[in-house]
């Protein structure tokens, strides 16, 4: 059963302020919780579940789960973020993420300037996970990666990709000074993504959903790139969702690697 | 001002049943409404707006707008679907969409099997608009393309891309019999998207968010393709959001066209 205080605490974790204070966040849903529990290295502070879920998934329980609370459906409904709850959630410590600037040289990384929609941020983290990208750098104006909607859209990739909140100006200025390090930006006008010879490492910069990349960052971008549009409808401006743009950029940067590896 | 009946009617248009009965749907928000009104060929049944919006955008008004209702913010809040309303929406007749099977031969088209998330469907329509894809074929199990959330995520591309609800088995069976027509499918296991020589026309088939492409459709797919994953984390299965997969497939199919055109 869940005490009133516990219900209040779980709901409070939906707020960034409380997550920052406690260092905890929530992962909800059958698929994602299963994935968390299978990896026994992940410490779980609390597992909150209805009896049916616990009965079916007893094999997933392990000593690293500090507290297991069996709750009624009515109780679960008081803490869920889902419209159709699966009856299970876990509370976890946020992973501690670090990076070494020198290691970035041999990798492809992503910078996000003020991505505000939680669904977009989560989808971008999921795409990064698919392409094995280790680090995403978010400006302080981005949505919080431990917001339940972001965690959900990331399908748990937020546990595998390092998401760092940092002032992008300072980061890009430093990276600019590294020899042979390329910083690419996604723009509506730029060199065609399909024409440019792309390096297999460097930084991809994407901007806010409406305003694009902030002018202060543009000086640090060596190569402004664009995804060519094939629309033949005149009289309006087509645009691509930023997560779709990230997917296309990542695919284009990794396709050569895939072909060389064969 | 808005009568009680009108408020009820506008809210009823958020339901598919009422949209089907009336043949009408809603487009909301400053950017998308502006785009609708600039194109004077689009008939508008009603424009509902607050005085500030009307004052600023009087130049957009034209004779094809059958009714203009100036409403207070309080009234607008009773009909909006937005959390932070921009104070403007239009009610339009759904565009009549038709296609000719023979014309599909020279184009790239998309089939969607039971895409249920409105955000995903809208994003896919927006991607199709960007790449100039004219037709999307949806199984009856897909979300409705005139659902306000789909319209919003499509950023109005639903007005430019033909979205047809149809039994995909019958469509694909017919298309299969055309000579030199290729039907490609997106799978977790298949030939690498980057290795296969791709034609610049044909059909791309994408499946449901959790279950993938329905087994009954698999027989019609000539080429099962997959986007290679570069994740080096073991012990879990990465996956890509279906809209991200559509973005990557479209980019890969069109990139050769872009390069040839230069």
SS (H, E, C) chain B: CCCHHHHHHHHHCCCHHHHHHHCEEEEECHHHHHHHHHCCCCCECEEEECHHHHHHCHHHCCCCECCEEECCHHHHHCCCCCCCCCCEEEEEECCCCCCCHHHHHHCEEEEECCCCCHHHHHHHHHHHHHCCCCEEEECCCCCCCCCHHHHHHCCCHHHCCEEEECCHHHHHHHHHCCCCCCEEEEEEEEEECCCCCCCCCEEEEECECCCECCHHHHCCCCEEEECCCCCCCCCCCCCCCHHHHHHHHHHHHHHHHHHHHC
Q: Which of A236, A248, A257 sits opposite B247 (nearest CB)?
A: A248
Least confident span in A50-64, B145-159, B220-234, B238-252: B220-234
Best mutation target, A231, A237, A242, A243, to test chain B (most B CBs within 10 A): A231
Closest residue in chain B to residue A129, using alpha carbons only? B231
Residues of A in contact with B243 (CB under 8 A): 123, 241, 243-244
Residue B130 has pLDDT above 80, yes or no: yes
Residue B172 has pLDDT above 90, yes or no: yes
Q: Please give the pLDDT value at position A256.
A: 78
Residue B91 — pLDDT band, cuts 50, 70, 90? very high
Average pLDDT, chain A: 93
What is the enclosing helix (H) or strand (E) of A224? strand A223-226
Q: Do B131 and A231 touch (CB under 8 A)?
A: yes
Closest residue in chain A to residue B246, using alpha carbons only? A244
Residue A173 has pLDDT above 90, yes or no: yes
* A210-246 residue pLDDT tens: 999 999 999 999 999 999 998 876 656 678 999 999 9
Tokens 């529990």 correspond to A37
Q: Which of B195, B239, B245 sits opposite A259 (nearest CB)?
A: B195
Q: Please give the pLDDT value at position B239.
A: 84
Q: Compute the average pLDDT of residues B46-61.
A: 96
Q: Please give the pLDDT value at position A72.
A: 96
Closest residue in chain A to residue B240, using alpha carbons only? A127
Question: What Cα–Cα distance (Å) separates residue A38 from each residue in A62, A169, B166?
Answer: 9, 39, 41
Q: Which of A35, A153, A230 sits opposite B131 (nearest CB)?
A: A230
| β-pair partners for A138 | A112, A165
* B6-43 residue pLDDT tens: 999 999 999 999 999 999 999 999 999 999 999 898 99
Beta strands (DSSP E) in A104-161 are 108-112, 135-138
Sheet of B68-70, strand order: B24-28, B88-93, B46-49, B68-70
Q: Which of B38, B230, B241 sits opposite A132 (nearest CB)?
A: B230
Task: Give the closest residue to A51 by CA, choosing from A91, A84, A88, A9.
Answer: A88
Q: Please give the pLDDT value at position A261.
A: 59
Residue B260 has pLDDT above 80, yes or no: no
Q: Compute the average pLDDT of residues B198-209.
A: 94
* A89-146 residue pLDDT tens: 999 999 999 999 888 988 999 999 999 999 999 999 999 999 999 999 999 999 999 9
Q: Please give the pLDDT value at position B124.
A: 98
Residue A70 has pLDDT above 90, yes or no: yes
Q: What is the CATH number of domain B4-93?
A: 3.30.1330.30
Q: Compute the average pLDDT of residues B108-136.
A: 97
Average pLDDT, chain B: 93
Residue A34 has pLDDT above 70, yes or no: yes
CB of A250 within 8 A of CB of A131? yes
Q: Do B236 and A38 touch (CB under 8 A)?
A: yes
* A244-259 residue pLDDT tens: 999 999 999 998 777 6
Closest residue in chain B to residue A227, using alpha carbons only? B251
Residue B262 has pLDDT above 60, yes or no: no
Q: Compute the average pLDDT of residues A154-177.
A: 94
Q: Please give the pLDDT value at position B261.
A: 59
Cα–Cα–Cα angle for B54, A188, A258, rounded to 5 degrees: 140
**Overall fold of domain A101-261:** Alpha/beta knot (3.40.1280)
Closest residue in chain B to residue A108, using alpha carbons only? B230
Residue A262 has pLDDT above 60, yes or no: no
Q: Please give the pLDDT value at position B236.
A: 63
pTM, full prediction? 0.94
Q: Which of B38, B129, B236 sits opposite A238 (nearest CB)?
A: B129
Residue B257 has pLDDT above 70, yes or no: yes
Rounded to an integer, what distance in angstroms lies between the CA atom of residue B13 and that of residue B9? 6
Question: Any idea where the domains of chain A sit in the sequence?
Answer: 4-93, 101-261
Q: Please give the pLDDT value at position A236.
A: 63
Q: Compute the average pLDDT of residues B197-218.
A: 94
Distance from the A194 Cα atom to the nearest Cα atom in chain B, whole angstroms: 6
Q: Do B227 and A130 touch (CB under 8 A)?
A: yes
Residues of B in contact with A255 (CB under 8 A): 194, 252
Pairing of strands B68-70, B202-206: unpaired
Residues of B in contact with A160 (CB under 8 A): 231, 233, 236
């Amino acid at each position: 059963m869940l005490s009133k205080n516990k219900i209040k605490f779980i709901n409070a974790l939906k707020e960034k302020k409380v997550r920052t204070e406690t260092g905890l966040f929530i992962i909800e849903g059958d698929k994602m919780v299963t994935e968390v529990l299978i990896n026994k290295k992940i410490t779980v502070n609390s597992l909150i579940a209805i009896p049916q879920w616990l009965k079916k998934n007893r094999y997933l329980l392990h000593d690293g789960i500090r507290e297991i609370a069996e709750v009624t459906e009515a109780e679960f409904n008081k803490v869920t973020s889902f419209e159709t709850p699966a009856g299970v959630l876990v509370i976890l410590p946020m992973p501690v993420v670090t990076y070494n600037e020198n290691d970035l040289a041999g990798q492809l990384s992503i910078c996000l300037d003020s991505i505000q929609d939680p669904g977009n941020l989560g989808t971008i983290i999921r795409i990064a996970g698919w392409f094995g990208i280790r680090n995403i750098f978010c400006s302080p104006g981005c949505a919080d990666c431990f917001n339940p909607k972001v965690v959900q859209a990331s399908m748990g990739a937020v546990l595998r990709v390092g998401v760092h909140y940092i002032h992008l100006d300072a980061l890009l200025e430093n990276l600019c000074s590294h020899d042979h390090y390329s910083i690419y930006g996604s723009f509506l006008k730029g060199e065609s993504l399909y024409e440019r010879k792309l390096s297999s490492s460097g930084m991809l910069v994407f901007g806010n959903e409406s305003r694009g990349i902030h002018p202060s960052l543009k000086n640090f971008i060596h190569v402004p790139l664009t995804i060519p549009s094939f629309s033949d409808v005149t009289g309006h401006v087509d645009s691509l969702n930023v997560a779709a743009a990230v997917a296309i950029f990542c695919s284009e940067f990794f396709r050569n690697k895939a072909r060389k590896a064969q």
